[in-house]
């Protein structure tokens, strides 16, 4: 899949012969994608839904803002068993080349992510172990990403995204009246996402 996108990017013309009729990019697009995030060291494979607003700055650069949601299970025995729902907001700059029928693009972006943790074991907090926390939360984090994609007929897309981000678990332990400890454990939440999309032209 990566080979297909790379080959398309390298073989397509930098600038269409007739940009007015052949250029794939509209001034503004709404791009909806569904995909799957790969397993990371902490979180299992997870479905992903993303809404993206795209604005053509100037050929061949696009500015894109994305809002995405994914949900996965903790797959590490070193942490409590539960479900993590993640919400990311990102801004990306895309460089594209091609014609109306086929377009390939590369992009770089920054993202801000946060999430919710839902414990699957309801008896976990009733454990008598000394280090058992009273609350568990999922911390926020900043990250970056690299992406490449392919679009067909002005409408359909295939995209591969590599994300580097390190969120954290936050443990809160009550020690008595108005006394508590707070422990933050960072982990790598890196993932590779493959997604399919549909574009709606806004202008």
Could you give the CA distance from residue 153 to residue 107 in angstroms, rounded to a whole number? 20
Least reliable range by pLDDT among 49-53, 105-109, 114-118: 114-118
Q: Are 85 and 68 in contact (CB under 8 A)?
A: no
pTM of the model: 0.79
Classify 7 as helix, strand or coil: helix
Q: How confident is the model at residue 4 (pLDDT cuts 50, 70, 90)?
A: low
**Which single residue is written with the structure tokens 């707070």?**
182
For range 5-23, the mean pLDDT: 56
With a pLDDT cut of 90, the percent of the chain lying above it is 34
Is domain 2-13+21-146+158-201 annotated with CATH 2.70.98.50? no
The model's pLDDT over 32-79, given as tens digits with 9 standing for 90+, comes to 999 999 888 778 889 999 999 999 988 889 999 999 999 988 877 777
Contact 154, 172 (CB under 8 A): no
Quick one: pLDDT at residue 194? Answer: 94
Report the pLDDT value the prediction gives residue 130, as an integer from 0 to 100.
47
Q: How far apart are CA 101 and CA 191, in angstroms?
A: 30
Q: Is the pLDDT of residue 176 over 90?
A: no
């Amino acid at each position: 899949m990566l080979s297909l996108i790379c080959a398309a990017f390298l073989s397509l013309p930098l600038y269409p012969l007739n940009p007015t009729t052949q250029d794939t990019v509209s001034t503004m697009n709404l791009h909806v994608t569904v995909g799957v995030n790969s397993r990371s060291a902490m979180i299992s494979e997870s479905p992903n839904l993303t809404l993206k607003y795209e604005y053509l700055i100037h050929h061949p650069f696009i500015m894109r803002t994305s809002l995405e949601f994914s949900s996965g299970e903790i797959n590490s025995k070193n942490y409590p068993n539960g479900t993590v729902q993640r919400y990311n907001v990102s801004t990306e700059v895309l460089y594209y080349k091609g014609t109306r029928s086929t377009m390939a693009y590369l992009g770089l972006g920054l993202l801000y992510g946060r999430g919710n943790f839902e414990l699957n074991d309801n008896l976990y907090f009733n454990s008598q172990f000394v280090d058992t926390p009273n609350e568990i939360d999922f911390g926020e984090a900043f990250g970056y990403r690299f992406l490449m994609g392919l679009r067909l007929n002005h409408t359909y897309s295939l995209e591969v995204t590599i994300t580097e981000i390190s969120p954290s678990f936050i443990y809160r332990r009550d020690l008595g009246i108005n006394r508590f400890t707070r422990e933050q454990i960072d982990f790598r939440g890196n993932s590779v996402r493959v997604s399919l999309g549909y574009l709606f032209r806004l202008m």
